[in-house]
Amino acid sequence: MSIKLNCDMGESFGIWKMGLDDEIMPYIDMANLACGFHASDALTMNKSVLLAKKNNVIIGAHPGYQDLVGFGRRSMSCSDEEISSLVLYQMGALSAFCKAYDTRVSYVKPHGGLYHDMMNKENVFRAILSAISSYDKSIELMILSSPKNEEYALVAKEYDITLLYEVFADRNYNDDGSLVSRTQSNAVLDNEEAVILRVKNLKEKGTLFSVTGKELSLKTDALCVHGDTKNALEFIKILRKEISE
């Protein structure tokens, strides 16, 4: 299985710095760039697009709810029209910087609360698909890979949008293929050896194990890594080596 590394980036805001973007960008394939609603600002977006282009990294829009205080991790009560509009707005903002530097937004990966709502509420999923389809049908949508991939693909087909399936390198999974909530103490898989074993299993068999030991078969186009955790750079270098071998 061919797997690309993707990372949430460009999440600094004003004088507040987040992540190790300059150091990490050379080791990833896809950069999910924040678009100003949950994090980032105009200058950060500008620099992030230039950094991605310099390192030949595929650019994705990372839109979220308009919630800087909560870092976009909280669900918000929005109408379908509001969701489509906020996604379209953020895609457009990032696309302006991309156009200025002769590159493009290749995919959309919603952030935080919007990502989880997309996976759990069909109307949110459809609102995001509608926004992308109205803007550029060649832009793909990244979703959480699960046993329900085919169901999501059928809905996406109605909008002529291709899906990318994402697995998280360092998050624990429930038996149904959903992520263990961050409110739980075991949400994050912090054992380096366990994460490396997960990557090997995904490459060789396309499977990973849930928190109870259930083997889950998951299509993996992209493996999400986080650039704001302890020893993130060293860890990403290790995963880069594992995926490339």
In a domain, 44, yes or no: yes
In a domain, 120, yes or no: yes
Three-state DSSP state, 167: strand
Q: Give strand ranges (E) for the chain.
A: 4-9, 30-34, 58-62, 105-108, 140-144, 163-168, 207-209, 215-217, 222-225
At 65 the pLDDT is: 98
Over residues 201-224, the mean pLDDT reads: 92
Is the whole model's pTM more than 0.85, yes or no?
Answer: yes
Instruction: List the domain range (segments joined by +) for residue 71.
Output: 4-168+219-227
pLDDT, tens only, 78-112: 999 999 999 999 999 999 999 999 999 999 999 99
Q: 163 forms bridges with which residues in the sheet? A: 141
In a domain, 34, yes or no: yes
pLDDT, tens only, 9-49: 999 999 999 989 999 999 999 999 999 999 999 999 999 99
Query: What's 42's domain CATH number?
Result: 3.20.20.370
3-state helix, strand, coil in the chain (%, to 5): 40, 20, 40
pLDDT, tens only, 3-15: 999 999 999 999 9
**How many domains, in total, are found in the chain?**
1
Task: Give residue 225's pLDDT band: very low, low, confident or very high (50, 70, 90).
Answer: confident
